[in-house]
Chain A
């Protein structure tokens, strides 16, 4: 008979001795038991995130958008600007269009990292293998954040270098370099992390992606149609704190002079994400999987 023999032959002889204090025979595995910690969850989540196609697709499209749009913008601007007209411009700022569109990909990936486990039922397998749910969420957050940050930074840096080389603009200062590459990458990665956390709260991919894209676009769109005088302040705030505007703050070209400036957007996003994370953690511990 071709039946594979049931127990693994290599698991050695079953251990029949009774556990102390128990009248029942117990089985002891020959595989050494190790105390698991966050590191185990991190390697596991790394395996998970690199072994699905959606990661490659979303990140691939992201890089394509950021680099492609960044270079196209730079080429267009370089071809159409007259001599000296860019002298006061920060050349890094032409990367913002690509990053704005590309952030949709990061949002999608962030949501999928958590919500797809709920969609497929994988979460039950995961939570059975690791009953400390907070550890799983933390590991997902860390792995995703690092991946998103590294990919964004690499793309943004590439675009920035090309922009500086192609355009006849002023030399960016060190602070501008830092904000235009590391700062914006941290911001995009945090936006993705917020999506991941929202995915964990909503537990539904499409729903969470819709919410996140709404969060990015809705304030601008709503503000566009606020013509009433009495709504002026609200419109202004919506413009200033909308995510596209916060992105451009990193290149010091906000839509207005008031509102967030400098590193403010990063702190805002950090606060929002931290609050959402705490909420997701609480819900995860309390809810049924």
Chain B
């Protein structure tokens, strides 16, 4: 159990972490998310007693790290993969750590086997790839067979096999009753691995809740309904029937309807009642990435912009079209999909019948368009890519989350107040 109370860290006049309070419980994988420079690594270092907090404190099992009896046997950490002396062989690196913590030397060979580095155990870690370095770091974290594990970006540089392995490793460690605290920028990975999320931005807590609640609170699921293209009047008919029944209907660019506030079976029933055939009735669940982007967009410190190459561009030959910018480049707010009830900007159909290149990008179409929705492409893929346990905040057919959503005011993104309230900070 890791417990932070009012944790604050200042470097000169720059506040890296401010008044952070959270708990990381055993028996679950807790994801630690935040944009670059939001204070994740600083927090991790303070947990491990490497940096002294300016104010507040963080304890592990009730003790500050530096006063923890047998610290390396209680806490294992992967801080960064390159925190090794490159001139030392992998095995000697681990051996020196084992000796420092009074761990028998055969345990070193054991963990080398666990991370799959036994063949390069006697090679100097200077020549290791990033992925091999990560494996070595994970081996060091596992060395003491500790109760609490911290991993800072553990899957960086790992191959797909390694990513799968780390995912399973985290889950099995948590299933053994250990506390697992993982930071990562890979949202799809987090959605699969983590049970609980702690999100910080600019050093402050933005959210402390389960993955499921996080997604529900920061984005909305909806149902996509498509009536036969050939008979537009059916669409109007269904629209009014759904609205009458209390649903919230938004037209999509390609003629589909986005419905919130009604479960899927109810939509089907209503359609049946008013004699409208359906070509599509599909649940859409927001991805963790979408929810995360929405929440943190106000707290991003380092934002990319378009490379203008001002004054360096050559005149385009007459008649040539300037190249289309890639969606998402240099558009603040691009990644924050509008709340479903806010604007009419539709989510494009997964079939991708887009009305030309402008469609996904130019915000040209659609009445009442708020901002263009970047998730036109990515969002529909998310459910297939992430079919595993953590992601489905929603069992397929009925869209139970949907009803709650329309009630929400068109909340400005990143309103920390509401979601921050740690629903379980007892």
Contact = CB atoms under 8 A, between A and B. Distances in A.
Interface stretch (B86-94, B189-197, B227-235, B366-374): B86-94
Contacts, number: 168
B102 A125 contact: no
A27 B176 contact: yes
Judged by DSSP, the binding face of A is loop
B147 A27 contact: yes
B130 interface: no
Contacts of A15: 177
A150 to B, nearest CB: 20
B144 interface: yes
A4 B116 contact: yes
Interface residues of B, number: 67
A228 interface: no
A120 B124 CA distance: 13
Interface residues of A, number: 53
Nearest to B28: A24
B71 interface: yes
B82 A121 contact: yes
Contacts of B84: 120-122, 125
Contact of A48 (B68, B69, B96, B111): B96
B80 A44 contact: no
Nearest to B50: A289
Given A3-B165, A3-B168, A47-B96, A52 B87 contact: yes
Contacts of A44: 96-97, 99-100
B172 interface: yes
Given A8-B114, A31-B103, A116 B97 contact: no
A289 B51 contact: yes
Given A120-B86, A131-B71, A132-B66, A126 B100 contact: yes
Question: Which 5 A-B pairs rank lowest in CB-CB distance, beginning with the nearest?
Answer: A121-B83, A14-B176, A25-B177, A29-B145, A51-B92
Interface of B: 1, 25-27, 45, 48-52, 65-73, 75, 77, 79-80, 82-89, 92-93, 95-97, 99-104, 107, 110-111, 113-116, 140, 142, 144-147, 161, 164-165, 168-169, 171-173, 175-178
Interface of A: 2-4, 6-8, 10-11, 14-16, 22, 24-31, 33-36, 40-41, 43-45, 47-48, 51-54, 116-117, 120-122, 124-132, 136, 286, 288-289
24 contacts: A4-B113, A8-B145, A22-B1, A26-B26, A26-B147, A27-B176, A31-B107, A31-B145, A33-B73, A33-B102, A34-B102, A47-B92, A48-B88, A48-B96, A51-B88, A116-B85, A120-B85, A124-B45, A124-B83, A126-B100, A128-B75, A129-B97, A131-B71, A289-B45
